[in-house]
Amino acid sequence: MSRAGAQFQSALAVPAEMGVAYYEPSRDYQTGLQRARRPGPGPGPGRRGDRIDLPAVMSAAEAKAIAEAKLASLWTERARRTVRAGWRRLALRAGERVTIAGEAGVWRIAGVTLDRMMVELSLVRARATGALPAPAAEPGRGTGGVDLIHGPTVAHLLDLPSLTDEPARTPRLFVAAAGPSAGWRRASLLVSLDDGARWEPIGATAPAATMGVVTAPLGVAGAALFDRAGAVEVALLNDAMMLGDADEAGLIDGANLALVGDELIQFGQARPLGGNRWRLERLTRGRRGTEWAIAGHVAGERFILIEPETLLAYDPPLSAVGGRARVMAVGVGDIAEPVEALAEGIGEALRPPAPVKLAAARADGALHLRWTRRSRVGWRWSDHVDAPIGEESEAYRVTIARGDGASATVDVAGPALVHPLDGYGGALSISVVQRGTSAVSRAATLILD
């Protein structure tokens, strides 16, 4: 072949550093990175670095050898030639290696062009082949975690009052899930609104919720003051779950909110009792209008720490209000027996809280009733302003029942009623509910002798 067009690329065309990313077996197959550098300063202005991502398992020495070989090849290939030969050399292909008469070394064909019955070959100098000794390389230290069994799933379907000051327009359910093993990660979820006739996938659970069961139940206490005498003991699902304390300012801001049975509480102090058992003290009770669930706590009922990042929200259609919802969780440890959870009478997020301070008196032949409304979006008790209604309009339904079973029902638009007492002597049972946009509150009740 005849020689022509000799040239050298600038050294700046060759990376100052070459990295090779790979999977390191000595570090539990985590990603490793080995680098090779050519003489001179490292990457910087005018001196670039490059990297190869290899989806391969190899030792640190093998990866470093690849980086060094690649960098050496790029440095050698700075030398380039263009040669011309007769058309009989047309059989040559890019990638083949050739020699040039009178020139030492081997050249790799980078391109072939046929021009006027002459074959023009673009050549780059090829690095000498042969096995090189493996360079010394350090694989680094792994960040591997402990291999834990995933285990079965424990799931709860929560129908909670609205947890924000934005009025809900549809029902809202939450799925809380975790496992008795600290290795539990997540499970796939399906929901049914027709008692299991049809199931709809709704994604995967949120990260593990802090949850367990009650071992020493709550007693009865008021919802208006701090409960400094009461306490509840719980057993969390596994020893890795933790609870913390909160001061009064934190409690006012909503810290340490938990669902115990159907009651929302907050706790200011969490005392570890050993293992996965905790005693919760300095309580506030009946949060978000759940004072109706203060009585009737039992051992074995659910305990769930309410943290938005550990709850998956699901919004059923408005037509599901008052119905039942089922959720099925299928995780790695639940293939043989999926886990189901049930919520009945759904719609707590749409339900106004029950009126409070219901008072009644007989005067001038009439029954005088008054009460104080509450709002599902007005829990901050801001000074000098009334709580927002939170509904399309303010409306109540009052039921007055006699001892013989006769009753009268009256709808009113404000928190007071004057009703004639004709025929309503003796003890009276009075109930008041607020009629919300999409649901009715629980009743405030009173017995008037």
Q: What is the pLDDT of residues 52-79, one digit of tens each?
A: 999 999 999 999 999 998 888 888 888 8
Phi-psi region of 369 (alpha: psi -120 to 50; beta: other; left: phi over 0): beta
What is the structure's pLDDT at 443? 95
Best-predicted range by mean pLDDT (22-36, 123-137, 291-305): 291-305
Check: CB of residue 85 under 8 Å from CB of residue 72: no
pLDDT bracket for residue 144 (50, 70, 90): low
Question: To the nearest whole number, what is the mean pLDDT of the chain?
Answer: 89
Residue of higher predicted confidence among 285 and 424: 285
**Average pLDDT score over residue span 382-395:** 84
Q: Which of 103-107, 135-139, 240-244, 440-444 has the lowest mean pLDDT?
A: 135-139
CB atoms within 10 A of CB 360: 18
Residues β-bridged to residue 442: none
What is the structure's pLDDT at 432? 97
Q: What is the gyration radius of the CA atoms in the chain, in angstroms?
A: 38
Check: CB of residue 123 under 8 Å from CB of residue 109: yes
Q: Is the pLDDT of residue 366 over 70?
A: yes
pLDDT bracket for residue 405 (50, 70, 90): confident
Q: Is the pLDDT of residue 125 over 80?
A: yes
Q: Is the pLDDT of residue 41 over 60?
A: no
What is the structure's pLDDT at 324? 95
What is the structure's pLDDT at 134? 66
pLDDT bracket for residue 91 (50, 70, 90): confident
Q: Which of 40-44, 110-114, 231-235 has the lowest mean pLDDT?
A: 40-44
Q: What is the pLDDT of residues 312-349, one digit of tens each?
A: 999 999 999 999 999 999 999 988 889 999 999 999 99
Q: Where are the domains of the chain?
A: 2-125, 154-349, 356-448
Q: Is the pLDDT of residue 43 over 70?
A: no
Check: CB of residue 447 under 8 Å from CB of residue 403: no
In CATH, the number for domain 356-448 is: 2.60.40.10
Check: CB of residue 390 under 8 Å from CB of residue 377: yes
Q: Is the pLDDT of residue 105 over 90?
A: no
- Greatest Cα pair distance, the chain, in angstroms, is 128
For residue 153, give Cα distances in angstroms to 175, 181, 308, 341: 12, 9, 19, 11
Cβ within 8 Å of residue 233, ≥6 positions away: 214, 215, 216, 273, 277, 278, 279, 280
Check: CB of residue 15 under 8 Å from CB of residue 74: yes
pLDDT bracket for residue 45 (50, 70, 90): low
Check: CB of residue 281 under 8 Å from CB of residue 290: no
d(CA 127, CA 125): 7
Question: Residue 290: which of 261, 316, 270, 317 has the closest Cα?
Answer: 261
Q: Is the pLDDT of residue 30 over 80?
A: yes
Q: Is the pLDDT of residue 85 over 90?
A: no
Phi, psi at residue 319, to the nearest 5°? -65, -15
pLDDT bracket for residue 27 (50, 70, 90): confident
Q: What is the pLDDT of residues 194-233, one digit of tens each?
A: 999 999 999 999 999 999 999 999 999 999 889 999 999 9
